[in-house]
Structure formats: structure tokens, C-alpha cells
Structure 1
Amino acid sequence: MNHDRSRELYDRALSVMPGGVNSSVRATRPYPFFIERGDGGHVVDADGNRYVDYVMGYGPLLYGHDAPEPVQAAVQKYASAGPMYGAPTEIEVEHAEFVARHVPSVEMIRFVNSGTEATVSAVRLARGYTGRDKIVIMQGGYHGAQESTLVEGDAQHPQPSTSGVPEEFAQHTLPVPFNDPDAVTEVFEEHGDDIAAVLVEPVLANMGIVSPVDGYHETLRDLCDDHGSLLVFDEVITGFRVGGLQCAQGKFGVTPDVTTFGKIIGGGFPVGAIGGKSEIIEHFTPAGDVFQSGTFSGHPVTMAAGYEYLNYAAENGVYEHINRLGAKLREGISDICADQAPEYTVVGTDSMFKTVFTRDAPDTLEGQCEGGCQQRVDCPRYDHCPKTGADVANAETERWERIFWHEMKEQGIFLTANQFESQFVSYAHTEEDIERTLEAYKEAL
């Protein structure tokens, strides 16, 4: 493939943008390819190269790059009527009503502008509602670029994970290993009266995709109930992708007090949201005493796109299609890995997938989770598959980034550029796309 135009654009970008990009994950080595346009389940770069796209904007594009006609019509209608007003619109109410009808935890919702803004607001809300300061997070979980969760270490020695976050901020955050009920129980035994909330992705989705072990979320629910803390599910990635319109909380049968959303809920436009029990969400101003506001919140174009996005999914069997393709892809990759790299673990659920370059294989693969790791105790991989973010970090992460990603790119398959970010199947992908991808995996592995 020729990438001269992308190289030229990157050279220009380095002069005017830090690292030549506007989001760190786009800075692939030696330079990123620049996208010119999307086409269904594909993208075309500035040099005319065409790729099967599984990045899908890092999750928002449930339908790929060609949104259904009702979505396109709604976007054009609301954009042409005047892009925003600084006043409420009916479409905000319709979208809020739709979400409240379908997501188990949501009675009320506040729309904001990004997933990060949603989690920032949710943490502030939890602290304001409970009158407490400490937040429990999962090691390896991701909740946006916010000071309260850019924290690493453990509950005894939390520290900022980036410069620019004061050490004092990190002392209010308690990181624990995902899928370790004993660890989080110990933290509650020591700090329970000071914990405002547990903030957790139902599936770790920025760390190679790690599913919960049986009973883990139920343990979090019980601990929060026992100590008067809030359980906050970060469904920015899993929302309206895992578990369909009920989201991951519906799939797992655990209802949080508060849920954060982003990505799909905005139909491909910048968005975030915080939903939950009315008695909690009403603590946001102007109804309550927890300040939250934003110039572009509830943007009518975004609200229209998000509402039509979800309404179309409700009426057209979208999840059945993409989940079937997702399962076929994961099963196919599992078969390839069994032959060529039996130590690797295929992970994911519904329309999410990833291959974690784990280092150890069991003695036999008979009876393994073929459609992606589900943390089954009777699976031969159970003692080898990732349970925590640290397990994913200990995989062959450099091989993914330096070799595998480039091999797949040269075969026309666009994957997320590191070992950690999720990948997504869309409604626009086809059986032919899946077969082509599996052939590329055979070559690249």
C-alpha cells in the first residue's frame, strides 16, 4: 500500500498539533493513515487505500459509516433548522423517554457532551449525594480523561497515572483488581463509611475486553447496598452495544444506581449522559445542589441522531445481525488461534471482539469458550485467560502494536492500534467482510 499522502499530512500535523493528533490513541507508528471517507463497514484513506473498519470510531458507529435513512433525515432536518439554541427542545425529551423506557437503571437522565464529561459528573453527583469523597475504581478500567480516575496503584498506595493530577486528588481514589471480590470487600471493610461510589465498566472495554467472573457484579451491588454507596456502571462503550437496548446491565441482570453513557447514545455525534434513579439524578442543578451544566448539552442534532439510532435498532433486528457476525468472527479467530497460536485468548461478547496475545496455553483446548472468553470455570483456559487489567498488560502488547497491527493494515483490515482498545462489528459489515478478515488473521498470525 502507498501512504505518501498520509505521511505528508502527518508531517504537517506535527507542526500544529501535539504529536500530530487530537487523541493519543490515533498516534500509530511510524505515523497514522489519514481517513478521507467512510463507506458502510469500510474506510478509505487519503491515498485511496480501502480497509474493513473494526475501529468504528472507537464504538459509536453501530451502523457503520452509512447511517439508516431515518437517522440521516433527522440530522439534516435539525441541522437545517438551526444547529442549537441554548434552550430546551422536544427531541431532548423524546430521547430521554426512550432511554428511560429501555434501560433498567434509568428513571431520569442528564445529557452532556462526552463520555468523560458523563463520568466526571457522575463522580461529582455520587460525592454530593452521599456526602463522601472516596471512589472505588478497577485497575485497568477507563473512565475518560478525568482527575478522579486517572489513578494507578492499589487502594493502599494510589497515585496519579499522568502528570498534571495532584497527588492529593489520587488519595480519594481506591483502585482494586477487577474480578477480585476479596480485594474489594477488604477495601469496603476499611473505608466503607467514606466510599461514595464504585465506578466500574460492566466489561473492561479499554483493557483488551475482560468479562466479569460469575457473581462479581452482584458482590459490588451487595457491598454498595450494605455501606450506603452508589454503584455506578460506566456503559460509555457497552451501552446499547452489549445487551441490546437494555445495555450490559440488562445482560448481566445487575441494576446500578447510576449509569454513564456515550458513543452510541449520540448516533455518531459527540455525546455523554448520566442516568439513574430519580432521587439521585435530581440532585443535579437546577433541581438539586450538585452543579452540572454545559453549553452544548442536549444538542438537538445529536439528540435527533441518537433517538433515531436507537429507535431504528428497536424496530429492525439490528442486534441479532451484528451479534451473529460478532460470534462468527470470534469463533473463526478462535479456530485460527487454536492452530497457529494456542496461547492467545479471544475475548469479547455481542458485537465486540479482540485477541489478547496471552503467553500461556492450557494442556488442552477441548471445551474452550469458542465465541470469546466468558470466564467459565469449566473452560480449560480459565486459569490462563485475563481476569484483570494487569493480566492484559502482561500479554505480548508490543507484538500487537509493532507487528500484528501493521500486518493486518497491509491486508486492508483496520483494527485498533494497541492491545487494549476494543474492536466492533457494525450493522454494515457483511459475511464477506468476516471471511476476508479471518483470512487476514491467518496470514498475520
Structure 2
Amino acid sequence: MNHDRSRDLYDRALSAIPGGVNSSVRAIRPYPFFVQRGDGGHVVDADGNRYLDFVNGYGPLLYGHDLPDQVQAAVQSAVSEGPMYGAPTEVEVDLAEFVARHVPSVEMTRFVNSGTEATVSAVRLARGYTGRDKIVVMQGGYHGAQESTLVEGDVEDHGPSTAGIPEEFAEHTLPVPFNDFDAIHEAFEAHGDDIAAVLTEPLLGNSGIVMPEDGYLETLRDVTEDRGALLIFDEVITGFRVGGLQCAQGKFGVTPDVTTFGKIVGGGFPVGAIGGPAEIIEEFTPSGDVFQSGTFSGHPVTMAAGYESLKYAAENDVYEHVNELGEKLRRDLTEIIHDQAPQYTVAGTDSMFKVMFTREGPDATEGHCEAGCEQRPDCPRYDYCPKNAADVADCDTERWERLFWPAMKERGVFLTPNQFESQFVSYAHTEEDVETALDAYREAL
């Protein structure tokens, strides 16, 4: 493949944009390819190279790059009527009502502009509602670029994970390992009266893909209820992708107090949202005392895109299609790694997937999870599959990023560029696309 145009664009970008990119994960070495346009389940770069796209904007593109006609029409209509107003519109009410009808935990929703803004607001809401300060998060979990969650360490010894955050900001954040039953109990034994909320993804989607062990989410629900804290599910990634219209909380059967959304709920446009029971969400101003506001919140173009996207999914076979392709990918990838790299782990659910370069695996393959790790204790891989973010970080991440990712790119398959971010199937993908991807995996692995 020729990448001369992308290289020249990156050269220009380095003089105008820090690091040449506007999001750190795009800083692919030696330089990223620059996308010129999307086409269904593909992207085409500035040099005319065409790639199967399993990044899908890091999750929001449920339909790939070809929006259904009714979504496209709604977006164009909203744009033609004016960019924004600084006043409410009917479509934001329509979208809020749709979310409330389908997501188990939600009665009311406040729309914001990004997943980060949603989780920032949810943390502030939890503190205001409970009158407590401390937040429990999962080690290695990601909840956007916010001071309360960019924290590393453990319950008793932790601090900021990046420059620019005062130590005092991190004092009230308590990191625990995902899937560690003892750690969550110990955190509440030590600090329970001061904990406002536990903030977690229902499954880790930004540290490989790590499914919850049986009973773990239920334990979080029980502990928070017992101690008067809130349970916040960050469904920015999983919302309206895992579990269909009920989201991951519906799939796992655990109802949180507060849910944060992003990505798909805005139909591919910038968005975030905080949902939950009216009693809690009405603590936001102007009905309550927890300040929250934003110039672009409830943007009419985003609201139209999100509402029509979710309506289309409700009326058509969208989830059936993407989930079947996702299962086929994971099932066939499991067979490929058994033959070529038996120490590796296939993970994911619904339309999410990832091959994690774990360093060890079992000798036996019979009885394994056939379409992605389910954290099943009777699976021969159980002791080898990542249980938390630290396990994913112990994978052969350099091999994934420096050797495997470029090999897939040269074979025309665009994956998220490191071991950690999830990959996604879209409604625009076909069985032929999946077979093409599987052939590339066979060659690159």
C-alpha cells in the first residue's frame, strides 16, 4: 500500500496539532493513515487504500458509514433548519422518552456532549445525592478524561495516573480490581460510610474485553444498596450495543442507580447522557441542587440522529444481524487461535470482539467457550483468561501493536490500534466481510 499522502498530512499535523492527533489513541507509529471517507463497512484513506472497518469510530457507528435512509433524512432536515438554538426541541423529548421505555434503570435522562461529560456529571450527581465524597472505580477502567477517575493504585495507596491532576483530587477515588469480590467488600469495610458510588462498566470494554464473572455485578448491586451508595454503570461503550435496546444492564439482569451513555445514543454524532430514576436525576439543576449545564447539550442534529437510529434498530433486524456476525467472528477466531496461537484468548459478546495476546493457555481445548470468553469456571481456559485490566496489561501488548496491527492493516483490515480498545461489527458488514477478516487473521497470526 502507498501511504505518501497520509505521511504528508501527518507532517503538516505535527506543526499544528500536539502529537499530530486530536485523540491520543490515534497516534499510530510511525504515523496514522488519514481517512478521506467512509463507505458502508469500509473506510478509504487519503491515498485511496480501502480497509474493512472494525473500529467504527470506537463504537458509535452501529450502521457503519451508510446511515439508513430515515436517519439520513432526519439529520439533513435538522441541519437545514438551523445548526442549534439554545432552546429545547421536540426531538430531545422523543429521544429521552425512547431511552426511558427501553432501558431498565432509566426514567429520566439528561443529555450532554460526550461520554466524558456524562461520567463527570454522574460522579458529581452521586456526590450531591448522597452527601459523600469517595468513588470506587475499577483499576484500569476508563471513564473519560476526568480528574475523578484518572487514578491508579489500590484502595489504600493511589494517586493520579497522569500529570496535571493534584494529589488531593485523587484522594477520594478508590481503585479496586474488576471481578475481585473480596476487594469490593474490603473497600466498603474500610470506607463504606464515605463512598458515594461504585462506577464501573458492566464489562470492561477499554481494557481488552473482560466479561464479569458470575455474580460479580450482583455483588456490586448488593453492596451498594446495603451501604447507601449508588451503583453507576458506564454504558458509553455497551449502551445500545450489548443487550440491544435494554443495553448491558438488561443482558446481565442487574439494574444500576445511574447509567451513563454515549456513542450509539447519538447516532454517531457527539453525545453523552446520564439516565436513572427521577428521584436521582432530578437532583440536577434546575430541579435540584447539583449544577449541570451545557451550550450544546441536546443538540438537535445529534438528537435527531440518535432518535431515528434507535427507532430503526427497534423496527428492523439490526441487532440480530450484528450479533450473528459478531458470534461468527468470535467462534471462527477461537478455532484459528487453537490452531495457530493457542495461548491467545478470544473475547467479546454481541457485536464486540477482540483477540487478546495472553501469554499462556491450557493444553486441553475441549469444553472451551466457543464464541468468546464467558468467565466460565468449567472452561479449560478459565485460569488463563484475563479477569481484570491488570491481566490484559500483562498480555503481549507490544507484539499486538507493533507486529499484528500493521500486518492486519496491510491486509486491508482496520482494527483498533492496540490491545486495549474493543472492536465492533456494524450493520453494514456482511458475511463476506467477515470471511475476508478471518482470512487476514489466519495470515497475520
* Shorter-chain TM-score range: over 0.9
Instruction: For 1:359-398, list aligned pairs within 5 A.
Output: 359-398=359-398
Render the CA deviation track for 1:234-288: whole Å, top value 9, x for unaligned. Answer: 0000000000000000000000000000000000100000000100000000000
Tell me the residue number matched to 2:104: 104
In structure 2, what is the Cα distance between the partners aligned to 1:62 and 1:368? 29
SS of equivalent to 1:136: strand
SS of equivalent to 1:70: helix
Render the CA deviation track for 1:1-53: whole Å, top value 9, x for unaligned. Answer: 00000000000000000000000000001000000000000000000000000
Q: How many pairs align?
A: 445
Tell me the residue number matched to 2:416: 416
Q: Unmatched 5+ residue regions in structure 2? A: none
SS of equivalent to 2:36: strand
Render the CA deviation track for 1:289-317: whole Å, top value 9, x for unaligned. Answer: 00000000000000000000000000001
Instruction: For 1:6-405, list aligned pairs within 5 A.
Output: 6-405=6-405
In structure 1, what is the Cα distance between the partners aligned to 2:361 and 2:230? 39
In structure 1, what is the Cα distance between the partners aligned to 2:338 and 2:413? 21
2:13 counterpart letter in structure 1: A
In structure 2, what is the Cα distance between the partners aligned to 1:268 and 1:322? 17
1:371 counterpart letter in structure 2: A
In structure 1, what is the Cα distance between the partners aligned to 2:14 and 2:208? 29
> What CA RMSD, in Å, does the superposition of the two structures yield over aligned residues?
0.4
Q: Unmatched 5+ residue regions in structure 1? A: none
Measured after TM superposition, the shift of residue 158 of structure 1 is 1.1
In structure 1, what is the Cα distance between the partners aligned to 2:62 and 2:289? 36
In structure 2, what is the Cα distance between the partners aligned to 1:146 and 1:80? 35
SS of equivalent to 2:88: coil
Render the CA deviation track for 1:169-212: whole Å, top value 9, x for unaligned. Answer: 11100000000011110100110000000000001000000000
Measured after TM superposition, the shift of residue 376 of structure 1 is 0.6
Render the CA deviation track for 1:339-379: whole Å, top value 9, x for unaligned. Answer: 00000000000000000000001120111111000101111
SS of equivalent to 2:111: strand
In structure 1, what is the Cα distance between the partners aligned to 2:203 and 2:308? 26
In structure 1, what is the Cα distance between the partners aligned to 2:341 and 2:188? 41
In structure 2, what is the Cα distance between the partners aligned to 1:67 and 1:15? 34
In structure 2, what is the Cα distance between the partners aligned to 1:413 and 1:283? 46
In structure 1, what is the Cα distance between the partners aligned to 2:67 and 2:211? 29
1:26 counterpart letter in structure 2: R
1:195 counterpart letter in structure 2: I
Measured after TM superposition, the shift of residue 388 of structure 1 is 0.6
2:143 counterpart letter in structure 1: H
2:67 counterpart letter in structure 1: A
In structure 2, what is the Cα distance between the partners aligned to 1:299 and 1:158? 38
1:27 counterpart letter in structure 2: A
In structure 2, what is the Cα distance between the partners aligned to 1:360 and 1:393? 14
Measured after TM superposition, the shift of residue 83 of structure 1 is 1.3
In structure 2, what is the Cα distance between the partners aligned to 1:368 and 1:46? 42
In structure 1, what is the Cα distance between the partners aligned to 2:279 and 2:127? 14
In structure 1, what is the Cα distance between the partners aligned to 2:236 and 2:370? 26
In structure 1, what is the Cα distance between the partners aligned to 2:365 and 2:168? 47
1:248 counterpart letter in structure 2: A
Measured after TM superposition, the shift of residue 415 of structure 1 is 0.2
SS of equivalent to 2:385: coil
In structure 2, what is the Cα distance between the partners aligned to 1:30 and 1:426? 28
1:208 counterpart letter in structure 2: G
In structure 1, what is the Cα distance between the partners aligned to 2:27 and 2:181? 36
SS of equivalent to 1:401: helix
In structure 1, what is the Cα distance between the partners aligned to 2:203 and 2:335? 24
Measured after TM superposition, the shift of residue 140 of structure 1 is 1.4
In structure 1, what is the Cα distance between the partners aligned to 2:227 and 2:203? 24
User: What is the TM-score of this pair, normalised by structure 1?
Assistant: 1.00
User: What is the TM-score of this pair, normalised by structure 2?
Assistant: 1.00
2:180 counterpart letter in structure 1: D
2:159 counterpart letter in structure 1: Q
SS of equivalent to 2:353: strand
